[in-house]
């Protein structure tokens, strides 16, 4: 059910879970003060317990009581990119944050969302945890109606319209005296160069049993349709193409991501287009992956790869 701002705040304060809009994707929010609500998020999403949650706050100074230490450039990153699609992983005092939130780690992830409705909720309710509002492994929801597809029309959703970024936040982790990207997201790696004086490397996470942050399980963001990324088959032999509006694919039905020279548009459309494949009951689709491996395209490529993994890999 669609709820207004005051009702969303009331439900969260009572220990309920509510779907909120952000600039990245819709999230399932629970107050950090309500451990039972946090546990309910894992049950609702069928989310693995080893997958930590991101804590959303309204000002970076709210993080200080939780932090064990503040890494270099934290304030500069916060002041430059927040509110916005950046998550920072910090060493914390474990007793200050429930174990379920941090998945037993001695770090926690923090972000300040940009969407005015989620900001207003957090200012009233206080910090919330908020993973994406979708069943675990499915494409994230960028419209309120997509949240209802996964959780039913009786589930409380604060409708904030479409998400303008369309991809999750970029996650930075401070390790070995430098910031590293542990999840590609809506901010491209080169955007951090002016602030840090270097472009953070992209960390390749290999420990699936204990991921450092959300979104690192192998198969993720996946529709039911099989995505063909290797392009060994011809698009004509498949008949369906996940591609671009400014390219021609003869004799194929096209599911357009947008223009091939506009990664921001493609990012905004990606998850909703993946979900539309299931709407159309597509079983298999050829993916046009002929785009640059740089900037925001890196994130788009990574999401498509994870979405294409076999369902036996989780």
Tell me the C-alpha distance between 68 and 144, whole Å: 37
Tell me: is residue 111 an annotated ligand-binding position.
Answer: yes
Distance CA 31, CA 9 (A): 10
Q: Is 56 annotated as a binding residue?
A: yes
To the question of whether residue 24 is assigned a binding role by annotation, the answer is: yes
Q: How many CB atoms are closer than 10 A to CB 246?
A: 11
CB atoms within 10 A of CB 137: 20
DSSP H or E run through 91:
strand 86-91
Between CA 3 and CA 29 the distance in angstroms is 14
- From CA 127, how far away is CA 130, in angstroms rounded? 10
| Residue 200 DSSP symbol | P
Tell me whether residue 51 is annotated as binding: yes
Contacts of 287 (CB under 8 A, 6+ apart): 227, 228, 229, 231, 241, 242, 243, 304, 308
Chain centroid to CA 284: 25
Give the whole-angstrom CA distance, residue 5 versus residue 157. Answer: 10
Residue 167, SS3 per DSSP: coil
Tell me if 287 sits within 8 A of 295, measured CB to CB: no
Establish whether 107 is an annotated binding residue: yes
Binding residues for L-threonine: 24, 56, 111, 169
Binding residues: 24, 47, 51, 56, 107, 111, 132, 140, 169, 183, 221
Binding residues for ATP: 47, 51, 107, 132, 140, 183, 221
């Amino acid at each position: 059910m669609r709820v207004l701002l005051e009702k969303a705040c009331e439900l969260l304060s009572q220990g309920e879970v509510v779907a909120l809009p952000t600039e990245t994707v819709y999230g399932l929010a629970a107050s950090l003060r309500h451990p039972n609500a946090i546990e309910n998020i894992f049950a609702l999403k069928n989310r693995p317990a080893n997958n930590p949650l991101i804590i959303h706050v309204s000002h970076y100074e709210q993080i200080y009581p939780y932090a064990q230490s503040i890494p270099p450039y934290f304030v500069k990153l916060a002041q430059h990119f927040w509110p916005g699609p950046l998550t920072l992983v910090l060493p914390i005092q474990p007793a200050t944050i429930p174990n379920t939130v941090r998945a037993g780690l001695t770090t926690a992830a923090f972000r300040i969302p940009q969407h005015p409705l989620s900001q207003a909720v957090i200012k009233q309710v206080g910090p919330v945890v908020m993973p994406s509002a979708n069943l675990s492994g499915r494409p994230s929801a960028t419209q309120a109606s997509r949240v209802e597809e996964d959780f039913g029309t009786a589930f409380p959703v604060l409708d904030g319209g479409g998400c303008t970024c369309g991809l999750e936040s970029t996650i930075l982790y401070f390790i070995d005296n430098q910031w590293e990207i542990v999840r590609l997201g809506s901010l491209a790696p080169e955007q951090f160069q002016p602030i840090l004086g270097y472009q953070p490397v992209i960390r390749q996470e290999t420990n699936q049993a204990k991921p450092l942050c959300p979104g690192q399980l192998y198969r993720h963001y996946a529709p039911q349709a099989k995505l063909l990324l290797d392009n060994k088959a011809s698009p004509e032999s498949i008949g369906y193409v996940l591609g671009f509006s400014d390219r021609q694919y003869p004799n194929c039905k096209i599911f357009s991501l947008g223009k091939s020279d506009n990664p921001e548009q493609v990012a905004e459309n990606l998850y909703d287009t993946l979900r539309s494949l299931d709407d159309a009951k597509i079983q298999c689709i050829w993916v046009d992956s002929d785009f640059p491996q740089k900037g925001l395209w890196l994130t788009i490529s990574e999401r498509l790869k994870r979405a294409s993994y076999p369902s036996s890999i989780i």
